[in-house]
Amino acid sequence: MHKIPVTVVTGFLGAGKTTLIRHLLQNNQGRRIAVMVNEFGEVGIDGDLLRTCQVCEEEEDADQNILELTNGCLCCTVQEEFLPTMQKLLQRRDQIDCIVIETSGLALPKPLIQAFRWPEIRTGATVDGVITVVDCDAIASGTLVGDLDALESQRQADDSLDHETPIEELFEDQLACADLVLLTKADCVEPKDQERVQHWLRQELPDGVKVLPCHAGHVSPDLLLGFNAAVEDHLDSRPSHHDHEEEHDHDDDINAIQVIVDQEFDSNALLTKLQALVKTHEIYRIKGFVAVPQKPMRLVIHGVGQRFDSFYDRPWQLQEARQTKLVFIGENLSQLDIETALLQPTAELCLQQ
């Protein structure tokens, strides 16, 4: 039987991976797509977003098709959960046209792809291509990788930097592994800044890898699927900072804090509080669902740095608890500090149910 093509979607925190996959599922053009979501933190925010897209609500077995791993970085836990998950999918190969894997924003893509060399997987699946999602607005402002001009000057002066931060190494590894780079939030920057970002990216990318600006994940499935790259067979051409290491460890100081409360929040006041938290804590990403007073729909919040996006995705279900669920991803975050700052009973911030 033919191998199931697998598309790996990687990218930094908040770049827009889930938005891209939601659009793909809603415009699947008849393809039967299984989605595997890797979450950092115990609350499956992204998995829930994917389950509630229009297509998945119509699927009788949506929960079986969307397989969510919630115990940390996929490349670190691949032997514990990835193999049995893939074996389960391969047993249903007659019901699946392709698989999409959304990696954690903290995951290196190459160790995941190497797993497709394992005998238990190699005969049934192949990595069709790697899509790297890049936040144009964040890069233009230096939020994730620092000042672009300074970084480019530094690289020109020394091609073998010895003091790169883990985040910089991760970003470079994601670019080096890409078959296509999607540039999201390009509409948030001036045309000259977008061109500057694209120019810099082209210098960092392997020859032939294209950069495609996109808005709200609106990309044709024909562009995302069907690369036929068999990436696992050509990994030597995709260098990584960790190629000569037996194993890699993510920064142990990076952690996830989850806050789940039976409490409603005024959306504007909550955003003000979250922005204040970002200023006083090393918070890289905030995401989750919010119960808003007098609103029948739940509010989805995504935050990276001082930029926050929010939208109402669906009505609260009749038997569903109107809970606010937020995940904070950052460095040395304290559960007590985050909860205390967020949940202090001020009239401006929140309204008790």
How confident is the model over 226-255, as a mean pLDDT? Answer: 68
Top pLDDT among 226 and 76 is at 226
Q: Do 183 and 320 fall into the same domain?
A: no
pLDDT tens, position by position, 141-154: 776 543 445 444 54
Q: Give the range of the structural domain holding residue 8, as residue numbers without chain letter.
A: 4-237
Top pLDDT among 42 and 168 is at 168
Residue 303, H or E segment = strand 297-304
The Cα 19–Cα 217 span in angstroms is 5
pLDDT tens, position by position, 165-224: 456 777 888 888 889 999 988 888 888 989 998 988 888 888 888 898 888 888 888 888
The proportion of the chain whose per-residue pLDDT surpasses 90, expressed as a percent, equals 15
CA distances from 45 to 48, 117, 237, 289, 318 (A): 5, 30, 34, 8, 20
Is it the case that residue 60 has pLDDT exceeding 50? yes
How confident is the model over 7-13, as a mean pLDDT? Answer: 85
127 pLDDT tier (thresholds 50, 70, 90): very high
Q: Do 66 and 202 fall into the same domain?
A: yes
Q: Do 259 and 304 fall into the same domain?
A: yes
Looking at the domain assignment, is residue 247 inside a domain? no
Q: What is the DSSP letter of 147?
A: -
Top pLDDT among 137 and 68 is at 137
Q: Which string of b and e fits 276-286 if b means at least 16 CB within 10 Å?
A: ebbeebebbbb
Of 40-54, 117-131, 137-151, 220-234, the poorest mean pLDDT is in 137-151
Top pLDDT among 74 and 206 is at 206
- pLDDT of 155 reads 43
- pLDDT of 351 reads 36
Looking at the domain assignment, is residue 23 inside a domain? yes
pLDDT tens, position by position, 274-296: 988 988 888 878 889 999 999 99
User: Which two three-digit tokens encode residue 246?
Assistant: 């037996």
32 pLDDT tier (thresholds 50, 70, 90): confident
Is it the case that residue 347 has pLDDT exceeding 70? no
Number of separate domains in the chain: 2
Is it the case that residue 70 has pLDDT exceeding 60? no
Residues composing the chain? 353
Q: Do 189 and 53 fall into the same domain?
A: yes
The proportion of the chain whose per-residue pLDDT surpasses 70, expressed as a percent, equals 75
> Rounded to an integer, what is the distance from CA 329 to the centroid of its chain?
12
pLDDT tens, position by position, 194-204: 999 898 888 88
Q: Do 216 and 320 fall into the same domain?
A: no
Residue 25, H or E segment = helix 17-26
Query: pLDDT averaged over the chain?
Result: 77
Burial class (CB in 10 A: 0-12, 13-18, 19+), 178: buried
CATH number of domain containing 46: 3.40.50.300
Top pLDDT among 261 and 246 is at 261
How confident is the model over 129-137, as a mean pLDDT? Answer: 90
Q: Which string of b and e fits 296-331 if b means at least 16 CB within 10 Å?
A: eebbbbbbbbebbeeeeeeeeeeeeebbbbbbbbbe
Q: Do 21 and 78 fall into the same domain?
A: yes
Residue 56, H or E segment = helix 54-58
Looking at the domain assignment, is residue 46 inside a domain? yes
Contact criterion met (CB below 8 Å) for 36 and 69: yes
CA distances from 47 to 85, 189, 236 (A): 15, 29, 32
How confident is the model over 244-255, as a mean pLDDT? Answer: 55
SS3 159: coil
CATH number of domain containing 333: 3.30.1220.10
- pLDDT of 256 reads 79
Beta bridge pairs of residue 255:
330
- Residue 31, number of CB atoms within 10 A of its CB: 13
Q: Do 228 and 293 fall into the same domain?
A: no
The Cα 112–Cα 326 span in angstroms is 27
Domain end call among 182, 205, 237: 237
Name 174's Cβ contacts closer than 8 Å, sequence gap at least 6.
Answer: 10, 11, 12, 108, 109, 132
